[in-house]
Amino acid sequence: MKPANPTPQTKFIFITGGVLSSLGKGLAAAAIGALLESRGLTITFQKLDPYINVDPGTMNPFQHGEVYVTDDGAETDLDLGHYERYTSVSLSQKNNYTSGRIYYSVINKERRGEYLGGTVQVIPHVTDEIKAAVRQLEGEVDVAIIEIGGTIGDIESLPFLEAIRQLRGDLGRENTLYIHVTLVPYIKTAGEVKTKPTQHSVKELRAIGIQPDILLCRTETTLSDELKAKISLFCNVDRDAVITARDVENIYEVPLWFHEEGLDNKILKLLNVWTGSPRLEPWQELVARIKNPSREVPIAIIGKYVELKESYKSLHEALVHGGVANDARVVLRYVSAEDIEAQGFEGAAELLAGCHGILVPGGFGGRGVAGKIMAITHARQEKVPFFGICLGMQLATIEFARNIAGLTDANSTEFNPGTPHPVIYFIKEWYDYRTSRVQVRDESTDLGGTLRLGSYPCRLLPDTFARAAYGAELIDERHRHRYEFNNEYRRQLADKGLVISGTSPDDKLVEIVELADHPWFLGCQFHPEFKSRPMRPHPLFTAFIKAALEHQKTEG
């Protein structure tokens, strides 16, 4: 007799990359998820990263790019941001594993004696741990999309590749699919597109026992039928499984292009899944709105990682979403905080000239802080719409305390532990609404453990910019920071005109500050960019871009 509610058989798609990094495996995985979800399938994702760090939380953004935070407080790879933006999924700790996390678990098991004194080896112990991480997703959804970080040939990714090779035998051929993202470069001097890098990449993959089922060929132009036939022949894949992953004008075109190439149909055929036709109208409308806005507005982003835009990936996309909500193209001008600092306040005005909104994003450390504060002063005095996120909110508080409240030495204990006016300080305990208990930390706690991470509730004050934007009294937003607004200065700053418009439900943590005598000036302790979606733009970004457009209109 069959059980009344049998567990659904989850299909697994494994995505690997070859030739070189930054080919867009994360975007490819997200776009595939969007296509399958548009056909009514339930999906989830997982990113397996080969680096030894337990998570990217302590990694330099110049090396790794943005650290993306989930509702449950996981510090994850930025590709999880792509996954959540392209689909309706909400991800967590179990959706991102690193080699460090896998080895950490294996070593702890060995120390506890769980291997019964046996010799602990990569095969089977490490690979079994990886397989167990992947199979957590089994039975939860129709399709799980697993992206393997790194590039084929990297020594550190071999255990992950061996694990997914074994999973085909464990789960069955009909329940597993291998997609390989590779490069088909155009050599300008020869005037030819070359398939040899793809052939070598597939050869490397086959040497470790994985025959790809589908090839996503990253290229500048559409591959001809002849080139697809050649790749099919030499790489031993079906002719209709050679997919052109062509460069597109904006990243939200990728699902539409993949569908045009027949990728979703091929996936469903190989996995023996039947669905109805995809509902792609929302994606078509989104792309049309991005390509054909009625106006545009320049926004300045004041940061210290401006050379690497991947450091602000979610922020960049959230601003685009805010523009879409206002039928506008947002022109992003990244301004180095250190350049502002070097040129002084008058120079700041020159560097920011022509921008109708100023945004100071999150960050850590004292480098560039003085320049960011100069930009905030400029925004306050010149009535330019201002948006401060995390560190940006803290610096807006410091700027107000120094220049309006008369606390000339006000600072954060992050930058000056001995400041006489620590308006921002290291909080040692707070009430965690997720676990319903008080969290305690101190300076000796591991660096990653001192952060307030994940989603926390916030109550909004009526008649404020925040309340007008959200249209609700209680919200939830994701955090990633270790310093907080010091309540000892709350009354003093409020008396001088700083509006505390958002606090934790117990009123002990300040979450949002504003200036009432300004067209739009708001700083939030959380990271709203993590919850913005192209078809559901975040209300704060929508309100910020609207204010910038109004400022642009006023300035003529």
Strand partners, 148: 48
For 428-508, strand residue ranges (E) read 429-432, 437-440, 452-460, 474-481, 483-485, 498-503
Whether the Cβ atoms of residue 323 and residue 288 lie closer than 8 Å to each other: no
CB atoms within 10 A of CB 239: 11
Tokens of 193: 């597109």
What single letter denotes the amino acid at residue 214? I
Cα 182 to Cα 213, 361, 372, 521, distances in angstroms:
13, 34, 41, 46
- 261 catalytic? Reply is no
Cα 546 to Cα 319, 328, 381, 427, distances in angstroms:
11, 9, 20, 35
Among 217, 235, 355, 390, which one carries the catalytic annotation? 390
Q: CA-CA distance, 540 to 476, in Å (whole number)?
A: 13
Find how far residue 118's CA is from the centre of its chain. 40
End-to-end CA distance of the chain: 75
Whether the Cβ atoms of residue 492 and residue 471 lie closer than 8 Å to each other: no
Tokens of 410: 């006000």
Helix (H) or strand (E) holding 116: none
Residue 552 has phi, psi (to 5 degrees) of -60, -40
Q: CA-CA distance, 202 to 204, in Å (whole number)?
A: 5
Q: CA-CA distance, 524 to 387, in Å (whole number)?
A: 8
Q: What is the dihedral of CA 246, 251, 252, 256, to 10 degrees?
A: 10
Q: CA-CA distance, 320 to 328, in Å (whole number)?
A: 9
Whether the Cβ atoms of residue 29 and residue 12 lie closer than 8 Å to each other: no
Among 125, 527, 538, 551, which one carries the catalytic annotation? 527
User: In the structure, how many helices (H) and strands (E) does the chain have?
Assistant: 18, 25
- 82 catalytic? Reply is no
Among 82, 529, 538, 551, which one carries the catalytic annotation? 529
User: For residue 162, with 0-12 CB atoms within 10 Å meaning exposed, 13-18 middle and 19 or more buried, which class applies?
Assistant: buried
Q: Please, what is the Cα angle at 292 between 264 and 36, to 5 degrees? A: 15
- 399 catalytic? Reply is no
Active site members: 390, 527, 529
